[in-house]
Amino acid sequence: MSLISSTFDALRARQRKALIPFITAGDPDLDTTLALMHGLVQAGADVIELGVPFSDPMADGPTIQRSSERALKGKTTLRGVLDLVARFRQSDKTTPVVLMGYGNPIESMGYEAFAEGCRRAGVDGVLVVDYPPEESHELTAQLKARAIDSIFLLAPTSEDQRIADVARLATGYIYYVSLKGVTGAATLDTGAVAAMLPRIRARSSLPIGVGFGIRDADTARRVSAVADAVVVGSRIVQEIENSSHAEVVQRVGTLVKGMRDAIDA
């Protein structure tokens, strides 16, 4: 059983929902990202989604685009991100880490080399935003051989065939994008989310995390009532952008702790 699966099983046994924060690796620098990862765990994160910076993050809104630009300006590379996870694993061996990014850097490294790098670093799952199921078989095979989960996206526009395709390949959890458009683009409609999730659950027994549009504790609480996990990205990245180096870990921790408390309540 993967660390992601065992984490969700433990949460289910305690009747708790997962909180999955997203941050971009290397924003503002890799050492600060490491401190933020540990701070997220202390604030109540169950899984960490770690963004691999990319020059053309087409699914992301301006906030996360700027975080990728800052990270790339600081010379953050895919190998640097893997090294970061390995450093995190020196003192935290129990919090699942999911790499979230785009296909080009992975293709440049090579699927086998990337999967092996993930295994050595201690990565638990990979989500490639621009890889649909039909283009993912080679990568998922390499990840599966190393017991690394493959996370896939579904959206409000996903048809039944797409849901079935994802259900066949996905492991760990399914990430449901609650909005049409890019990250941070609009206000989330929890009623629409609640109407969509049964369609996914009819085809997959995997936990479902819901992201895009979760910007405060109240929204996190409402989403947790219908989903298995709450994924928060742009709001956290915005806090990083607006914080000084001295206060960024504390401010992000306070934000995430508020969401954790709301979900648990």
pTM: 0.95
Helix H or strand E segment including 54: none
pLDDT of residue 59: 78
Q: Is 49 a catalytic residue?
A: yes
If pLDDT is split at 50, 70 and 90, which confidence band does 187 have?
A: low
More reliable by pLDDT, 112 or 190: 112
pLDDT digits (tens, 9 = 90+) for 203-223: 999 999 999 889 899 999 999
How far apart are the two ends of the chain, measured CA to CA in Å? 29
pLDDT digits (tens, 9 = 90+) for 225-254: 999 999 999 999 999 999 999 999 999 999
Q: What distance in Å separates the CA atoms of residue 16 and residue 223, rounded to the nearest whole number? A: 13
pLDDT of residue 60: 83
CATH of the domain at 239: 3.20.20.70
- Do 178 and 212 contact (CB within 8 A), yes or no? yes
Q: Is 56 a catalytic residue?
A: no
Q: Out of 46, 49, 124, 149, pick the active-site residue.
A: 49
At a CB cut-off of 8 Å and minimum separation 6, what does 207 contact?
Answer: 8, 18, 173, 174, 228, 229
pLDDT of residue 182: 47
Please report, for residues 18, 89, 125, 201, 213, the alpha-carbon distance to residue 218 in angstroms, rounded to integers and kept in the order given. 15, 32, 28, 24, 12
Share of the chain above pLDDT 70, in %: 97
Mean pLDDT, residues 12-34: 98
SS3 22: strand
pLDDT digits (tens, 9 = 90+) for 31-40: 999 999 999 9
Q: What distance in Å separates the CA atoms of residue 55 and residue 101, rounded to the nearest whole number? A: 11
Q: Domain span at residue 27?
A: 3-264
Q: Out of 29, 31, 56, 60, pick the active-site residue.
A: 60
Mean pLDDT, residues 169-178: 96
SS3 21: strand
Domain count, the chain: 1
